[in-house]
Amino acid sequence: MSDLTESEIRSFQQARGLDVTGFVDAVTARALEEARWKLGDRSLYLQESPLMRGDDVAALQARLTEMGFDSGRVDGIYGPRTETAVKEFQKSVGATVDGKCGPATMIALIRLTKIVSGGAPSAMRQTATQQSRGPALANKVIVLNPDGDDQLVYDVAVRTEGRLLALGASVFLTRGATNNPSEQERIAFSNKSSADLMISLNLDTYINDKAHGAATYFYGSDAHGVHSIVGERFASLVQREICARTDLANCRTHAKTWDLLRLTTAPTVRIDLGYTSNPGDISRISRPDFRDVIAEALVIAIQRLYLAAEDDAKTGTLRISDLRKAGIRR
């Protein structure tokens, strides 16, 4: 790691969907460690915490998925779902069913050709699951994650919660007004809730007070060649609704591999609602009426995610009252 130049570190961080800083922090060091493993370098198996991580695990997951074995999200983590997929593969080829990807299983994987075409199976599964849930919000479980302990983003979460509850959704907040759980606790909470969506609300900051605007992030890794299809679409809907309804600058959507996006099983987005370091942004988000507009934009984006194309509307035109009139509750 010490042999890498700042430019090389930046390029690596960019490719891996990390914060581009030019120096090796703990997250970058972990990503560098994962990147050094190639499929076949070692035997892969489910072990007690910490779970095995690496590009070899991601390559295994991608190969299994391409052949029709559901290993879940290609996240480079050898968890129970990956072990189950390995066992199913081993059973199908007559190998010893032990859930371990050792030499014999590796050879079988290499010999078999891809049998799935027409789109990434994991993406098709994720899209099919989302579509099968129907347009109504009454059967959806939404987890709202007001990041940190900021009271403004907590207030946005509460305003969004109220509107979603009125439309029949089940809503859970990862924290109350005064506590501040760790990121791992928030991820675990969302996963235990069997959420359909996880929405993390955040206010950014920067050393330069000129930085301003809203941005939305979803799980994606160019290094692993995988993106959350539902997460990416939802991020786009959220970003467009917020920017159509407010005067926040559009800082676009971005794929990242942050743990919150990577380890939460439900499609997850993080929304930066402006910069506390920018006078204009903090002035906006400090206004209750502005937070109401943000909450409405979030609810409309959630509803649009589940609407069929023929029932959708132009960005910035739908109102929650329209959803109630249309009876999109159950």
Would you identify the CATH topology of the domain 128-326? Answer: Aminopeptidase (3.40.630)
Model pLDDT for residues 221-245, shown as the tens digit of each residue = 877 777 888 999 999 999 999 999 9
| Average pLDDT, rounded, for the chain | 87
Domain 37-117 architecture: Orthogonal Bundle (1.10)
Looking at the predicted structure, is the pLDDT value of residue 214 above 50? Answer: yes
The one-letter amino acid code at 285 reads: I
Give CA–CA dist 260/250, Å, rounded: 22
Among 94, 174, 156, CA closest to 284? 156
Identify whether the C-beta of residue 197 lies closer than 8 Å to the C-beta of residue 234.
Answer: yes
Among 78, 24, 29, 87, CA closest to 50? 78
Model pLDDT for residues 56-110, shown as the tens digit of each residue = 999 999 889 888 888 888 889 999 999 999 999 999 988 899 999 999 999 888 8
Question: What are the DSSP E strand ranges found in the chain?
Answer: 141-146, 170-173, 197-204, 214-221, 226-227, 250-256, 268-275
Phi then psi for residue 239, to 5 deg, are -60, -45
Q: At what angle do helices 103-111 and 55-66 cross, to 10 degrees?
A: 50
For β-strands 170-173 and 197-204, DSSP reports them as unpaired
Q: What pLDDT score does 222 carry? A: 74
Band of residue 114 on the pLDDT scale cut at 50, 70, 90: very low
Per domain, the residue ranges of the chain are: 1-36, 37-117, 128-326
Looking at the predicted structure, is the pLDDT value of residue 121 above 80? Answer: no
What's the predicted TM-score (pTM) here?
0.78
Q: What pLDDT score does 322 carry? A: 60
Peptide bond preceding 50 in cis form (omega within 30 of 0): yes
Give CA–CA dist 111/93, Å, rounded: 11
Q: What pLDDT score does 292 carry? A: 97
Handedness of CA 259, 260, 265, 266 (dihedral sign): negative
Helix (H), strand (E) at residue 237: helix 229-245
Band of residue 314 on the pLDDT scale cut at 50, 70, 90: low
Q: Which has more confidence, 77 or 134?
A: 77
Looking at the predicted structure, is the pLDDT value of residue 13 above 70? Answer: yes
Give CA–CA dist 98/96, Å, rounded: 6
Model pLDDT for residues 256-303, shown as the tens digit of each residue = 999 999 999 999 999 999 999 999 999 999 999 999 999 999 999 999
Model pLDDT for residues 298-310, shown as the tens digit of each residue = 999 999 998 865 4
Tokens of 100: 């371990």
Q: What pLDDT score does 126 carry? A: 56
The conformational region for residue 327 under phi > 0 = left, psi -120 to 50 = alpha, else beta, is left
Model pLDDT for residues 183-199, shown as the tens digit of each residue = 999 999 999 999 999 99
